[in-house]
Amino acid sequence: MGTPHTIKRYGEVWPEFRIKSGFEILEKLKNKVIISGGWAWHFMSETGHTEYKHAHDHKDIDVFVKKENVAEAVVILQHEGFQKVWTRYDHLPGEENFRRYEKTVESDYGKFHRITFDFFERNDLKTIEIYGFTVVKPDVLLSFYRNIHSSDKCWAVMAAKDLLQKGTDPVGHPQLSKMPK
């Protein structure tokens, strides 16, 4: 969510082509990556939810890759037309060995959009399995906001914090994609 968090924009939805193109590449990487960020909240949400922009950040796809899977994941991305993109974060010290890969695609509607993968290496994550995808556990994912992920105002993050504080498992909970009042 690169734009400021404004309540006036609540109700805006992600274009279907963005969700579809993200799913297509994640399906090819599903045995190599651990999904994080907005896409992790997407998978944790109830099936058939509305893709509100303020519920889950689909601007980029955040993934963790175990060191033994890095080469294969990079080969898959490159085979799919993704290219390494240099960022200001590439030379910062950190354990995650950050990389970014991007590709521009044309939607069925003739619009072009960029698919961005923010790729972190890490071997010690607690994960859960959802629909055949490996996803960072909700409590661990929440700990990444303000250092790895920046969209801590999205509805799913706020709802998951609240649910976990109450002792409720957020996975599959309708609050993860429900517009706040």
β-strands 112-121, 99-106: how paired?
antiparallel
Residue predicted with more confidence, 144 or 34: 34
Percentage of the residues of the chain whose pLDDT score is greater than 70: 88
Token pair in block for residue 39: 């896409």
SS3 content of the chain, % helix, strand, coil (to 5): 30, 25, 45
- pLDDT level of residue 144 (50, 70, 90 thresholds): confident
* Per-residue model confidence (pLDDT) at position 2: 44
pLDDT digits (tens, 9 = 90+) for 32-48: 999 999 899 999 999 98
* Per-residue model confidence (pLDDT) at position 94: 67
| CA 94/CA 76 separation, integer angstroms | 25
Q: Are 157 and 41 in contact (CB under 8 A)?
A: yes
Q: Which residues pair with 90 in a beta bridge?
A: none
- pLDDT level of residue 6 (50, 70, 90 thresholds): low
Burial (CB < 10 A; 0-12, 13-18, 19+), residue 130, is middle
Q: Which residues pair with 50 in a beta bridge?
A: none
String of DSSP letters for 85-110: E--TTTTS--SS--EEEEEEEE-TTS
* Per-residue model confidence (pLDDT) at position 59: 83
Q: What is the mean pLDDT of residues 100-129?
A: 90
pLDDT at 125 over 60: yes
pLDDT digits (tens, 9 = 90+) for 40-76: 999 999 998 888 877 777 789 999 999 999 999 999 9
